[in-house]
Amino acid sequence: MKEILHVDMDAFFVSVEEVLDPSLKGKPVVVGGRATPAGNGAITPQTENTLTNPKKILASAPLARGVVSAASYAARKFGIHSAMPIARAKRLCPHAIFLRGSHRLYSEYSAKVFEILRSYSPLVEPMSLDEAFVDLTGCGKLHGPILKTAERIRNEIRDRLGLNASIGIATNKLMAKIASAYCKPNGMLWIAPGKEQQFLAPLPIKRIPGIGSKGCARLNRMSVKSVADLSRLPLELLEETYGKWGASLYRKARGISNSPVSAETEDPRSISRETTFATDSIDPLFLESTLSYLTEKTAAQLRSNGLFASTVALKLRYSDFKTVTRSQTLGWPTAADHTLLKTVTKLFRKLFNDKTQVRLIGVALSSLTAHPCRQEDLFDLKDGDRWDGLYQGIDRIREKYGFRSILRATSGNARK
């Protein structure tokens, strides 16, 4: 019988801030957003998606756009939740403490949490910075009974890092995830084998992962409000009505999941950067300059990890919140700024609608590999070596004097 844990950190970003500043405990705290940058949406350290700058309290600063990354439980009482626009959160709770946050800091604490989890099992599957599945099947002789082991993990995270975690325990990933959400905050819940459907039956359908507000509305129209209601629908009807999603709902309503816990790989699946502007922009030159800067950032991170990308993707979010993406696969993997920028710029020029203002722009590199597999012909072999030498030199300068010490001209225009 499988023994799976879902470890979910409670209000993780806020909790880290509280460890560093205990005076924040019990107060409405919101992580996300930033001070309004000067100029017409120019890129500053505050407008980058990965918040690498030190924490800055924004309670008295004018708030630009952006969304809530995390909210303390005291802030949630005012209706504030993740992904809510910062401006709305400010209206709901004007006296809340708004923190810009630090992705670097949260990543460091996340790494420490995962270090603890891996000391109990080699099968740890991170789902984000603040949650992971742990497969403890067969570890009983080493660690003892599953309930005591889960409690020991929770206590170790609290004692070593000062953070609270909620842990769900079940025979599969689906039920473990539902259990951890059910016992938040700072709880622990074990769903005994064979009791899955009994536990699920009275729960509202929104408790099932993958059923959002739109899914709830669709099911409510069929008089389905609880998991018990959903479990009474035949597979044929669900498949006919909802296709593959319907078949998935049939299994989830019965607590069935065969997805294994997969240990993480060392290399990232993708590298991306995006920025939300303080003021929507329709200026193609400014947008292309911003895209140039973000591409330089992603390419530099690619090279620092010793990786090469085969797929380039562009992301645009317009003022009406409509989000569109386009991607292109290259002939061979690369980490060269000029190749990546040429590709993403072409995508932008095909996609950009000069009648609709842009709120957010981003670039993502995926299909990553540690081998360039360059298919150069006789004429570009020498140039390829020269480009490699150029980027190695640029990376050395940036390592010594900072990333902004040397930029492409187009990237510099975005900062102006």
What is the set of active-site residues?
131
User: Strand order of the sheet with strand 70-71?
Assistant: 70-71, 29-31, 97-99
Tokens of 267: 């290399």
CA separation for the pair 382, 389 (Å, rounded): 11
Instruction: Please give the span between the terminal C-alpha atoms of the chain, in angstroms, as a whole number.
Output: 61
CA separation for the pair 382, 400 (Å, rounded): 28
Residue where the block lists tokens 């802030």 = 75
Residue where the block lists tokens 């909790």 = 15
Residue where the block lists tokens 């009974």 = 145
CA separation for the pair 390, 374 (Å, rounded): 17
Tokens of 90: 């400010």
Contact 87, 278 (CB under 8 A): no
Residue where the block lists tokens 């910075």 = 129
Residue 32 DSSP SS3: coil
Question: Taking Cα atoms as reference points, which of 130, 164, 136 lies closest to residue 150?
Answer: 136
CA separation for the pair 142, 121 (Å, rounded): 10
Question: Taking Cα atoms as reference points, which of 299, 308, 295, 301 lies closest to residue 375?
Answer: 308
**Residues whose CB falls within 8 Å of the CB of residue 136, separated by 6 or more in sequence, listed in order:** 3, 4, 5, 120, 121, 143, 146, 149
Contact 4, 170 (CB under 8 A): yes
Residue 279 DSSP SS3: strand
CA separation for the pair 168, 188 (Å, rounded): 6
**H-run or E-run covering 378:** none
